[in-house]
Structure 1
Amino acid sequence: MNTFTRAAFAATAALSLGTTASAQDLRLLAGWDSSYAAVGDVLMPFIERLEEETTADISINVLGPETVPPFEQLDPVSRGLFDMLYTNGAYHFNEIAVGMTLDAMNGTTEDLREGGVWQAVDAQYQELGLKLIAVLYDLNGYHIMLKDEVGEDALEGRRIRGTPIYHPVIEALGGSPVVLPGNEIYPALERGVVDGAAWPTVGAVAYKWFEVADYMMRPTFGQVSHMVLMNLETWNGLDDQTRSEIEAAAQSFELEANGLFDELAASERETLETEGMTVSELSQEMGEMISGAWFTGTLDLAATQNPEAVEEIRGLATEAGVDG
């Protein structure tokens, strides 16, 4: 834990000791700041829905990664220093990896709930003191932005920025993964340190990557899960009616989130094309291959951390037909 994070924890603990907050006065840590559309255009409407559709006086205050860095946020929420978390499962892979399996699926949260995948992931997080509230899915998934268009040999010999979850797809396409944080993508593309960068289909506009990359690889792969978690003690401290109202509002909003992300992705692509980016298509064979590579690679990686839980999720996904 770095000095900045320790200071944030200490300040939070002091505040908790000095005041007695209402059980419905909740603080949410977000893994992204408001420049990411999944915060302003999806998370904030979801929070408004929770506040409106619960009879209890719930107030949710959002704190971003300037409070606690995104890869360090799971622990303080599980320990009750904060009440809620908005994150992606890959961000806390070293603590629990089952959340990242959600990105490998091929279906809405309704499909995942009906198939038991949603509940299996929830059960694993509860063992760490966290309750899964909602999975706000961007079904448009991930893509790779490139300086040069896809070749006959896909990405053979190219250096592609990607955190470990992307490595199976990058390697299957012949590329070499380079691990860089998001804030280093622009200069790395600009200086030629990397030849491309993997990222969700929503997000490139805000970071102006169209200035240093000319192509968007298609087809996309996977889907982007934005998890909303709550500290389990906080959850259990709410009355039965409030918990029921939150669950109903969350399940309803999960489906609405698909539409919100669809609109964001369409707007994003239009803007990128206006700024000069062009779609570059993989061959049909390569396009069909990366879907399987993404599903298998993501679950294999998650299994290195939580083998039994991931094996259960893999079986449920296959039975439900959402396995990539």
Structure 2
Amino acid sequence: MKQDLNRRKFLTKSAALGVGAAAAGATTLATPAIAQSLPQLRWRLTSGFPNNLDTIYGGAVYMADKLNKITNGRFQIQVFQAGELVPGPQAIDAVQNKTVEIAHTCGYYFTGKNPTFAIGTALPFGLNTRLQNAWLYHGGGNQLYNEFLSDYGIVGIVGGNTAAQMGGWFRKEIKGLDDLKGLKMRIAGVAGEVMSRLGVVPQQLPGAEIYPALERGTIDAAEWVGPYDDEKLGFYQIAPYYYYPAFWEGGAAVHFFVNKELYEGLPEDYKVALNTAAEAATQNMIASYDVKNTAAIRSLVGKGIKLQPMPREILDAAYKAAFELYEEYNQSNPAWAKIYPQWKKFRSEAFEWFRVAEFTYDSYVYAAQAAGK
């Protein structure tokens, strides 16, 4: 009897061990099978920004880290700051010719190639951050923008947003349109063309070159991003007047631009992983700027900057000039004409909705808080 009992215990234990071993064996076999089905990839990314701008440059670092973890290290992207591999203004060219596989920058830096590049980032008096994301992700914007980008052999994936930017740093007070005549200002993209119609002489400079240009007097004013980045770059030390808002960047999107051939050659799993990591980077950048700008604007005011609203006369003139320019592009630029009408329709309808709930809510609570309630 004792021997039978011991035999039954042994058989039961052995059966259990067998099931466990079989399960472990299945896991051991499955993991290499999955891993072997996907390639080990090492890509290089050139940023359009210096690495001391930890939030906007950091968007690429954040994405690469998430991608690495999602793919268990099989798809890795090494991030290089602007100028480390190629200058920031050559980022898209580097992707086109496969010097790098991917870049992280703003489309509107490349309006010299075609003004249509700007639509994916921001247009003067365009969409705020939420609406820019809404248009790109669910309003047909990504599809339209990528149809345009395909002619350049690249694919655009949204990879951040700075939120509404500031109107820039000026050496002298700006009271009206007359103060803009002949003013040399660092300003990018289509906004530069709009400002030129108001008498400004636009200069397109990379972020790292703005401070020296202000210091030497090569330029009289400069816009970059917002309080957090602007304070880091030290513009307040030279140009004390800080204006708001940047009507040209109500919500500036940043993109990952990928070589089209290489992107299309990715396994579907990697495409999903890359897009998911980019979406995470977008939300992280927006939230980071909202927190950091809140602290930075208080810091700048404490340092004695002269924080002032852009004069209404300038806003009205710029609004008129901007939409006149868009219609000119619409008549002369086929690529622009394929996207702009849809963008304008989306803007009009979305603004109607935002005026109902978002604007009325924001207006009330901001006014109440400002009144000390």
For Structure 1 versus Structure 2, the TM-score category normalised by the shorter chain is: 0.7 to 0.9
1:251 match: 279
Which residue of 2 is the match for residue 185 of structure 1?
Answer: 210
Aligned sequence identity (%) = 20
Q: In the TM superposition, what whole-angstrom CA distance separates every residue of 1:179-232 from its partner, at most 9, and x where no partner exists? A: 555444334433444332222225322221111010111222223221111112
For the Cα contact (< 8 Å) 1:100–1:302, is it kept in 2? no
**Counterpart code for 1:86:** H
Contact 1:27 / 1:61 at 8 angstroms: preserved in 2? yes
Q: Match of 2:195?
A: 170
For the 8 Å contact 2:47–2:57, the answer to whether it is kept is no
1:276 alignment counterpart = 304
Q: Contact (CA 8 Å) 2:158, 2:282: kept in 1 or not?
A: yes
Alignment of 1:211 with 2:237, yes or no, is yes
2:288 corresponds to 1:260: yes
Rounded to whole Å, the distance in 1 between the matches of 2:204 and 2:132 is 29
Asked whether the 8 Å contact 2:172–2:241 carries over to 1, the reply is: yes
Q: 2:109 aligns with which of 86, 91, 114?
A: 91
Alignment of 1:28-177 (within 5 A): 28-54=45-71, 57-64=74-81, 65-101=83-119, 102-104=121-123, 105-106=126-127, 107-153=131-177, 155-157=179-181, 159-163=183-187, 165=189, 166-171=191-196, 173-177=198-202
Distance 1:241 1:158 in 2: 53
| 8 Å Cα contact 1:31-1:70 kept in structure 2 | yes
Structure 1 counterpart of 2:301, one-letter code: E
Q: Is the 1:109–1:118 Cα contact (8 Å) retained in structure 2?
A: no
**Which is greater in Rg?**
2
Q: Is the 8 A contact 1:139 1:224 kept in 2?
A: yes
Shift of 1:293: 4.3
User: Structure 2 length normalisation: TM-score?
Assistant: 0.70
1:315 Cα deviation after fit: 0.8
Deviates more, 1:65-74 or 1:162-171: 162-171
**Letter of the structure 1 residue corresponding to residue 232 of structure 2:** A
Structure 1 residue ranges without an equivalent (≥5): 1-21
Q: Report which of the two has the higher share of helix.
A: 2
Q: Closer, same or farther in 2 for the Cα pair 1:153/1:321, shift >3 Å?
A: closer
> Structure with the greater relative contact order (CA < 8 A, sep ≥ 6): 1 or 2?
1
Instruction: For residues 48-76 of structure 1, give each alpha carbon's deviation from its aligned partner in whole angstroms, at most 9, with x where no partner exists.
Output: 22222346711110122221111122122
SS in structure 2 at match of 1:321:
helix
Instruction: Go from structure 1 to structure 2 and tell me whether the alpha carbon gap of 1:108 and 1:182 turns closer, same or farther (over 3 Å shift).
Output: closer
After superposition, the C-alpha distances for 1:1-41 in whole angstroms (9 at most, x for unaligned) are xxxxxxxxxxxxxxxxxxxxx55211111111201234444
Q: Is the partner of 2:239 in helix, strand or coil?
A: coil
With over 3 angstroms needed to count, the CA separation of the structure-2 counterparts of 1:54 and 1:292, relative to structure 1, is farther
Tell me the CA shift for residue 164 of structure 1. Answer: 5.6
Q: Unmatched 5+ residue regions in structure 2?
A: 1-38, 352-373
Distance of 1:293 and 1:199 partners within structure 2: 22
Q: What is the rounded CA distance, in whole Å, between the counterparts of 1:303 and 1:261 in structure 2?
A: 34
**In 2: Cα distance, 1:258 partner to 1:119 partner:** 23
Measured after TM superposition, the shift of residue 79 of structure 1 is: 2.4
Higher mean alpha-carbon deviation, 179-188 vs 199-208, is at 179-188
Match of 1:196 in 2: 221
**Counterpart Cα distance in 1 of 2:106 and 2:137:** 18
Q: 1:315 aligns with which of 341, 349, 356?
A: 341
Which of 312, 315, 318 is residue 287 of structure 1 equivalent to?
315
- More deviation in 269-278 or 160-169? 160-169
Deviation, 1:91, is 2.7
Quote the Cα distance in structure 1 between the aligned partners of 2:112 and 2:219.
26
Q: What is the rounded CA distance, in whole Å, between the counterparts of 2:115 and 2:315 in structure 1?
A: 26
For the residues of structure 2 that align with 1:152 and 1:92, how far apart are their CA atoms? 30
Shift of 1:278: 1.9
Q: Is the 8 A contact 1:214 1:277 kept in 2?
A: yes
- Contact 1:161 1:194 (8 Å CA) reproduced: yes
CA distance in 2, matches of 1:211, 1:39: 22
